[in-house]
Amino acid sequence: MALFGGKRRGALDGKTIVVTGCASGIGAQTTLLLRERGAKVIGIDRNKTENAYKFLQADLSDPDSIDAVVAKLPSKIDGLANIAGLPPTAPPDVVIKVNLLGLQRLTLGLIPKLATGASIANLASLAGFGWAQSLDQNKAAAELTFDNLDEFIQAQGIDQQTGRSYFFSKEALIVWTIKNRWTWRDRGIRMNCVSPGPVETPILKDFLETLGERAEEDMKIMDRPGVPGDVAPVVAFLMSDDSAWFRGANLTVDGGMSSHILQEANGL
């Protein structure tokens, strides 16, 4: 917070920020924090909520619903926080639609409405940390659309039992963010990722259910799972002017788990 004429003001005063997944979990916490810091937040979710300045209902698995909500949004937006997501227990096609394709369609649809210097923050996950180990699949995602998704899932052998749809959606999101780090640089628009570790949200149970013993071992290594309040301030930072030189970054908010993975993988 800064002082202006003796009055404390929020770091995001005057900014209009769109937050998806605003009704619960990290999205809800981020919405409230952004408002506390002075932003006018427009929330998007399937489920209605009153925690945003303005709420718009949309289904991010439906291209028509996405296009309709884009048309309703104002012509000057300072930030977009893509937080909505589904767990690996949902059908693979729906997971990929919401976590990747719907996010991309909404983002690209809003580019003409983003202000100079606007920020885009994509909520990825520690689950996407190993994107380089599935490089061919993640490169193939560049050609992925709503229309060819079923064919892609079949060709890539993405089934619900392994939870691969979730891991893939987050890996591909990180790759997409990296590749587009300078796409809109002429307008000062930046895009970055936030990758939380296990967080106490409504989907954590679904995540642990899919991963089983593997997830249980990871949880034993950590001192505690995260909470939405651990992640929301990082998203708020990316929405602020303080993050102006972050481009294509992946901020790992995971209690040190990604460092543990790197240590183990490299025998440190």
Q: Which residues, 6+ apart, have CB-to-CB distance to 105 below 8 Å?
A: 63, 66, 67, 146
Backbone phi, psi, residue 9, to 5°: -125, 155
Q: Could you tell me the pTM of the whole model?
A: 0.92
pLDDT of 85 reads: 96
Give residue limits of the domains in the chain.
10-265
pLDDT of 163 reads: 85
Q: Which DSSP string do the residues of 27-50 spell out, in sequence order?
A: HHHHHHHHHHTT-EEEEEESS--S
pLDDT of 4 reads: 37
pLDDT of 213 reads: 63
CATH code: domain 10-265 is 3.40.50.720
The sign one gets for the Cα dihedral 158, 163, 168, 173 is positive
How many other β-carbons are positioned within 10 Å of the β-carbon of residue 68? 14
pLDDT of 25 reads: 94
pLDDT tens sequence for the chain (268 residues): 443 344 445 689 999 999 999 999 999 999 999 999 999 999 999 999 999 999 999 999 999 999 999 999 999 999 999 999 999 999 999 999 999 999 999 999 999 999 999 999 999 999 999 999 999 999 999 999 999 999 999 999 998 778 899 999 999 999 999 999 999 999 999 999 999 998 887 766 776 676 656 666 777 788 888 999 999 999 999 999 999 999 999 999 999 999 998 999 999 9
Cα separation, 23 vs 43, in Å, equals 8
